[in-house]
Every structure is written in C-alpha cells, then in structure tokens.
C-alpha cells in the first residue's frame, strides 16, 4: 500500500511539472505574437507618408504648369510693310557721308575689301590712350587705309588724371601730320574720378595743347548724355561727334550744332569681323569741314 501511494505521488508531481512547462511555453508564444503586426504597421505607415509627399509634389508641379505665360511682345509693325528690309543699314537708305572708327578690337581688317565700299568715305583710327598706351593695330591700319583710298584721321582716348604733357607726347608721336587727311579727334568718355570743374579744366587745357601742336582745333567725340551732364556750354569752339545709338538724331541740352553722329556701335561691314562703330555727318556738314590743313 505504501509503494502504491508513493507511485501516485510521483505521477502527480510529474503531471504538475508537465502542466507548468506547458503553461510557460504557451505564455512565450502568446507574448511574441503582437510584435509582428507592430513592425508591419510601422512599415505600412512609412509608405503611406511617402506616397502623400509625392502626391503634394506632383500637385505643386501641376500648379506651376498652369500659371499664365508672360504676354508676348507686340510684333514690329514694320514687318507688315512689304518693302521693309531688316538688313538695310543707314548708309543704304540715305545720302549722307558715312564713315567708321576702328581700334585693336576689330583685329586684322581686310582693307582691300573695306576700300571697295564706296559708302564709307572716311575712317578714324585709335592711335593712343593716356600717357603711354599705343593701339597695336594703329600702324598697320593707317598704312593700309591710305593704300586703299580712305580719308584717314587719328584719335586719342583722353585720361583726365594722366599728366597732360605726357598724353600730348604720346599722341603726337603716333599721329604724324603727314599721314592725316582729317583733323585729330579726342575721345572723351570719363571724368577719371575728378570733380567736374577739375575735369573740365583738364580737358580744355589738353584741347588747347593739341590745337597748338597741330595748328588747328581737334574734333571732340563724346556721348550725348556725357555732354549733357558735364560739358554743356564748355565746347562751343569745337566741332562735335556725338554718339547716340538710337534711331532719332541726337539733340543736345543746349541745342548746339553737331557736326557728326555716331549712330551705332554694332555696325557691320564686309572686310571687318565683328561689330564696328559707324558715323555720318548731320545736316549740311561734310568732309571739307574736318580736313587736316597741312601748313
């Protein structure tokens, strides 16, 4: 009887142990299950957010496309004229005397071709600038321009703060009277940082020095606005070439007479690569007024 009771006790203990092991295993399994849905939910949420962001981006793109385009400029009314030719230049349509001015920026000019252009009667060549600059194309240009029959003049780019005597010596060393068909021209485009009264004193003194050296007054080149701002009433004794790149002829603030008009800085001419400055006489003015007098 004692043996039987001992066997039953062992069976009961064994059963309890199995039951506990089963409960622990089941608990582990149940505790692990919720983790997998949480991970999937996060991944799914991330995809949804990205999709919404792309949708907004596309919406913005569509908004930009829908914006109204800028209004187109009105067509040039001249294009409706059957006789209008956009390639015609000023010298093709008028009887004025035309010319050009050149410097190193035009490179090597084909002077034999330019000389055949009967619409270009004269050329002004840059000789010098300031106290020591010499245009590297000047000597070649003046020799070939003469060879192919153009009336030639030389010009100096004025630097107001550079010593005047030094500028004069630089210019006269290049602009030789025997090579000139036209009076010297002084190019005035900058005040050089001087006050207006100082600038005008410097310029007028230099013009008088040039006049004394060549025994004739030089031609003065400047822009219309520059003249109106700084030179009104200062150059009454000098002939002017005024630059104004518009269709209408220039009129100065003091309404004084203008001899020549540089009407474009983007002219074209066969024999010259790139743009070239073109000018013409105004009114009844002509070449005889700017001829160099050889004393």
Which tens digits make up the pLDDT trace of 147-160? Answer: 998 999 999 999 99
Q: Which two tokens stand for residue 92?
A: 């093709």
Contact 186, 196 (CB under 8 A): no
Output 108 or 37, whichever has higher pLDDT. 108
pLDDT > 70 fraction of the chain, expressed in percent and rounded: 68
DSSP 175: S
Statement: residue 37 has pLDDT above 50: no
Statement: residue 82 has pLDDT above 60: no
Q: Which two tokens stand for residue 22?
A: 């089963």
Residue 112 pLDDT: 87
pLDDT category of residue 5 using cuts at 50, 70 and 90: low
Output 79 or 141, whichever has higher pLDDT. 141
Contact 293, 215 (CB under 8 A): yes
Statement: residue 166 has pLDDT above 90: yes
Which residues are within 8 A (CB) of 200 and not within 5 positions of it... i.e. 6 or more apart? Answer: 230, 231, 234
Statement: residue 50 has pLDDT above 70: no
Q: Where are the alpha helices (DSSP H) in the chain?
A: 2-32, 35-66, 90-93, 111-115, 138-147, 164-174, 196-214, 224-230
Please give the backbone phi and psi of residue 134, each rounded to the nearest 5 degrees, phi first: -120, 130
């Amino acid at each position: 009887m004692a043996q039987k009771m001992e066997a039953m006790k062992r069976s009961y203990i064994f059963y309890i142990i199995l039951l506990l092991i089963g409960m622990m295993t089941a608990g582990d399994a149940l505790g692990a299950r919720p983790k997998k849905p949480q991970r999937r939910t996060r991944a799914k949420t991330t995809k949804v957010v990205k999709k919404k962001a792309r949708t907004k981006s596309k919406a913005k793109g569509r908004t930009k496309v829908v914006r109204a385009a800028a209004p187109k400029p009105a067509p040039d009314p001249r294009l409706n004229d059957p006789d209008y030719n956009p390639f015609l230049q000023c010298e093709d349509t008028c009887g004025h005397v035309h010319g050009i001015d050149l410097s190193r920026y035009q490179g090597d000019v084909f002077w034999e071709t330019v000389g055949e252009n009967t619409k270009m009667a004269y050329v002004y060549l840059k000789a010098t600038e300031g106290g020591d600059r010499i245009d590297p194309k000047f000597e070649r240009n003046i020799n070939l321009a003469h060879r192919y029959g153009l009336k030639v003049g030389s010009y100096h780019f004025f630097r107001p703060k550079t010593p005047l005597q030094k500028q004069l010596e630089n210019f006269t060393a290049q602009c030789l009277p025997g090579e000139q068909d036209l009076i010297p021209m002084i190019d005035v485009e900058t005040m050089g940082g001087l006050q207006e009264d100082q600038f005008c004193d410097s310029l007028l003194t230099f013009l008088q020095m040039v006049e004394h050296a060549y025994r004739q007054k030089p031609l003065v080149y400047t822009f219309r606005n520059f003249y109106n701002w700084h030179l009104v009433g200062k150059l009454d004794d000098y002939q002017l070439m005024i630059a104004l790149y518009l269709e209408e002829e220039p009129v100065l603030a003091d309404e004084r007479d203008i001899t020549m008009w540089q009407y474009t800085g983007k002219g074209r001419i066969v024999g010259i690569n790139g743009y070239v400055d073109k000018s013409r006489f105004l009114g009844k003015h002509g070449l005889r007024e700017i001829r160099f007098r050889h004393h």
